[in-house]
Amino acid sequence: MKKKRKLILIIVSIILIVLLALLGIATTYKKKVENNKQDIVVNGQSLASIINDLGSIFIKQQPSEENGFSKDIYIKFKYNLYENGESKEKIYLNLINNIEKYIQSNVRLIDESRDIIIRVNYSKDDDYYYYTINGEEDYFKKHNSINTLNKNNKKNNNKEEIDLTVNSNFLKDIIKNDWSADSIDINEEYNTVNNYDEYFYEGIKIKKVMSKVFNIRFTNRYQHNVINGIKVGTSISDVIETLGEPTYQSENVIGYKNNSFYVFFSEDEISIFRVQKYDTEEFTELLEDYINNEINLKEFMNKLTYLWDDYSEYTYTASNLNIVYPLQGLKINMTSNNDTLGIQIYDNFDITPKIEKLIQDGKITAKFDKNIYFEEELNTLRLRDDLIYSAQLGRYVDNNPSNELKNQRFSELYWDVCKYNSNNDISSLIFLSINEDLPDIELNEDIYTYIWLNDYSIFYSIKNKGIYFYDLKTKEKRELITGDDDFYIKSYNNHILKYDEEIVEIDEE
């Protein structure tokens, strides 16, 4: 009997030990699960609070089930990737950016309810991340393009055209002569500034692409009617009353189109862009050859610029390609050979079935909801404002290499501003009329240093070439000193010019 009782006690003890062990394991597992549901708190802030503050719902985090990733973070995203056809890219990128700032490791963001997995790869060395959505790179760029195509904006493009009556005799002659640059007949010397030939006193600026007029800008000095009895300076509300609701509109610019040109109205300019139809079949074949790796990027660009030489912008380096064809409705901006989504088709591109297929396959980008002419117009208007801002800033921040020039006087009639090339060297020097009472001037030279003499005159230097005098009023240029020196101008006072280690007396006359 005693043995039986002793055996029962042993069995009960074993059962108790097993139960306690299981309880310990269960408690440990529960703690582990609970810990996995919360992110580590750093400086009083948790991952859950970051996600919840941005409108999504944090569910849990756990060690990743996929090799190469540290965590799987389960989230109920605030929105689908698209809501009613509208991309939520900015919201998703903001969330990814904030999570990566906090975690700085490879993670997966998972929304099981929406079947979304975002894989984020982070490089600590570069402090840079890239992401895929459901295994797709450039997810939003591809799907934005496809959605744009499916909305069929391209096929509705012709509905934007309205009847426009040309009043300007100058514009009539240009159109009559098929926009030929040779047909320009203005009895005034022009200045070329920012790629526009400016006939200041006539109130006309002209941008040419190859041998034809691309853009005509009538300024407030042009006193004649331009379109439908409308002059420069006519209020936007009066333009709308005359022409109806605009096809293109921003805060300060409205635009319309007919079969010959686009016209844009702003506060003090009327801008006209030429329209031209192109056969895009040959381009489509060239594009397919490139996408199928039958030709490389260099061959593609050589053949493209041979096919169409009327681009408005062109930059090609080992790391970047940028070319713009406004007339065709094409922009290409790529940083590598496989960046084909940098090939962008706008609403005035004559689409082919093959191009449509490339868009549907996510090979190139459709921007049929954008107008390349309107973008060009807004960029042109923005450029002068940006240059003025830079020039005004330059009066307080010394951009000239010589500290001794800080106290030299500035012109009271012109703002001066430098444009820089990719090497951060001055590629040209622009003089903008402060009160717009004088023509703007641009010196397209590799200017090293310069200094004002008076409101109209400067000395400037070109490295290893010389120092020159220039008069903005008369456009007189005079060579003062030549040679192989740096020609680093330091100061000029009382006819004494200091440069490099030299001191010379200058006769301004």
Two tokens, residue 415? 């703002």
Say which residues have a Cβ less than 8 Å from residue 134's Cβ, sequence separation at least 6: 115, 116, 117
Q: Which amino acid is located at 354 in the chain?
A: K
* Length of the chain as a residue count: 509
466-471 β-sheet, strand order: 447-452, 457-462, 466-471, 476-482
**Run of H or E including 60:** strand 57-63
* pLDDT tens, position by position, 415-436: 998 888 767 778 889 999 998 8
In order of 419, 429, 479, the CA distances from 425 in angstroms are 8, 11, 22
pLDDT value at position 407?
46
Question: What per-residue confidence (pLDDT) applies to 253?
Answer: 95
Q: Along the 509 residues of the chain, how does pLDDT read in single tens digits?
A: 555 566 566 665 666 666 666 665 555 444 444 444 445 554 456 888 888 888 888 888 889 888 888 888 899 888 888 877 777 888 888 888 888 887 888 888 888 888 888 888 888 777 788 888 887 777 777 776 666 665 554 444 445 789 999 999 999 999 999 999 999 999 999 999 999 999 999 999 999 998 899 999 999 999 999 999 999 999 999 999 999 999 999 989 999 999 899 999 999 999 999 998 888 999 999 999 998 889 888 888 899 999 999 998 888 877 678 899 999 999 998 876 667 888 899 988 888 888 888 888 888 888 888 889 999 999 999 998 888 888 877 665 544 444 445 446 678 899 998 888 767 778 889 999 998 899 999 999 989 999 999 899 999 999 999 999 999 999 999 999 999 999 999 888 888 999 999 999 887 66
436/396 Cα distance (integer angstroms): 22
Which of left, alpha, beta for 185 (phi over 0: left; psi -120 to 50: alpha)? beta
Mapping DSSP to helix (H, G, I), strand (E, B) and coil, where does residue 349 land? coil
Q: Given this model, what pLDDT does residue 366 score? A: 85
pLDDT at 146: 66
273 close to 214: Cβ distance less than 8 angstroms: yes
Q: What residue type is 451 in one-letter code?
A: I
Q: For 201-213, write each residue's pLDDT tens digit.
A: 999 999 999 889 9
Predicted TM-score (pTM) above 0.85: no
- CA dist 62 and 56 (Å) reads 18
Which runs of E-coded beta strand occur in 326-389? 330-334, 343-346, 365-367
